[in-house]
Chain A
Amino acid sequence: MPKGDFPLFYTFHFYLFGIVAVVSALLFVTRKSPVAAALWLVNTMFCLAALYVLLDAQFIGAIQVLVYAGAIMVVFLFVIMLLNLGHPSELADARGTGWKVAALAVGVVLLAEVFTLTRARLPESRALPPGFIAQEIAREGAIAPIARPLFTEYLLAFELTSILLLAAIVGAVVLGRRRQDAG
């Protein structure tokens, strides 16, 4: 990230990817077909990866494309196609007007809350000097600044994550198994 005010090139791309992400997300929740919805969500995730790169998180951007857009969404599409969804009776799934009004109210309240929060003063004493992370990445690459806290300060969380993944693998296998002898 450049210091001080941003060049037009940077700002233009930031807003471009942000707006495309929001529009794709809107199209995603309004599509009837699950496959079309999943593909719009993939588009949102790609735009978010671009935003991560613009925000000095190149490694997270790459992981976003690989893990989210690549792996998780492929699993979703795989399940949609495995279950052969898209039958006309499956498509009309939107809830009634009451639910829509309730959802709109919740959305408006959440947005109002967020806009109130944006007026709050963020603690400036703990803020890094502008462009600090960009300089760090330029000095030692995109991965080292993330890897160091991950394997020192957050090592316990990292190990717990591996246990979580093991539990998820075992759970998915147990749930997905066909029951042969269970009554």
Chain B
Amino acid sequence: MLAESLFFSAVLFVIGVVGVLTRRNAIIIFMCVELMLNAVNLAFVAFAQVYGVAGQVFVFFVMTVAAAEAAVGLAIIIALFRHKPTVNLQQINLLKG
């Protein structure tokens, strides 16, 4: 099932990339990044089945980094929203407001 898993992983990753490129809502872009991380996790798990359990340990670390990233990223979005009430990235265009 390695080839099928890698296929699904690639398709999910591409959907995530297309989502990041075509949306402007900061939270949706964040969720697309999470989707890409999930796609990579699927590839790790598929390889772990063939080449040993170290891949699953890596998935563990990827999930930790994703959790940290979600916490900090959402805090940044809330701080931005407090400054200017929008999550549309096109309207967040000033380094100094």
Residues of A within 8 A of B (CB): 1, 6, 14-15, 18, 21-22, 25-26, 28-29, 34, 37-38, 41, 44-45, 48, 51-52, 54-57, 59-60, 63-64, 67-68, 71-72, 75-76, 79-80, 82-83, 85, 90, 93-95, 99-100, 102-104, 106-107, 110-111, 114-115, 118, 122, 126-128, 133, 136, 145-146, 149-150, 153-154, 157, 161, 164-165, 167-169, 171-173, 175-176, 178
Assembled-state Cα–Cα distance A6/B15 (Å): 28
Complexed CA–CA distance, A144 and B41 (Å): 20
Interface residues on B, range: 35 or more
B8, B24, B53, B69: most-surrounded residue (chain A CB, <10 A): B53
CA distance A127 to B35 in the complex (A): 28
Q: From the candidates B24, B27, B52, B64, name the one contacting A76 in the complex (CB within 8 A).
A: B27
Q: Which residue of A lies closest to B54 (CB)?
A: A149
Q: Is the CB of B56 within 8 A of A93?
A: no
6 A-B pairs whose Cβ atoms sit less than 8 Å apart in the complex: A18-B5, A28-B31, A37-B31, A45-B38, A55-B1, A72-B67
- Give the interface SS of chain A, mostly helix, strand, loop or mixed: helix
Q: Are A102 and B27 closer than 8 Å at their CB atoms?
A: no
Q: In the complex, A159→B54 CA distance in Å? A: 17
With contacts A57-B56, A59-B56, A175-B72 taken as known, whether A79 is within 8 angstroms of B24 at the C-beta atoms is no
Decide if A165 touches B64 in the complex (CB within 8 Å): yes
A171-B10 Cα distance, complex, nearest whole Å? 32
Residues of A within 8 A of B7 (CB): 114, 118
Q: Which chain B residue shows the least CB distance to A174?
A: B75
Closest 3 CB pairs of A and B: A168-B68, A103-B21, A29-B19
- A51-B45, A59-B56 given; 17 more Cβ-contact pairs under 8 Å: A18-B5, A22-B8, A22-B11, A34-B28, A54-B1, A57-B49, A60-B60, A76-B31, A79-B78, A93-B88, A99-B21, A106-B17, A111-B10, A133-B52, A146-B56, A171-B71, A172-B74
Tell whether, in the assembled complex, residue B49 and residue A1 are in contact, meaning their CB atoms are under 8 Å apart: yes
Question: Which A residues touch B92, using CB under 8 A?
Answer: none
Bound form: Cα–Cα A82–B78 in Å = 9
A residues in contact with B8, CB < 8 Å: 18, 21-22, 51
CB-based nearest A residue for B30: A76
Q: Which residues on the A side are within 8 Å of B59 (C-beta)?
A: 57, 60
Cβ-defined contact, B13 with A110, below 8 A:
yes
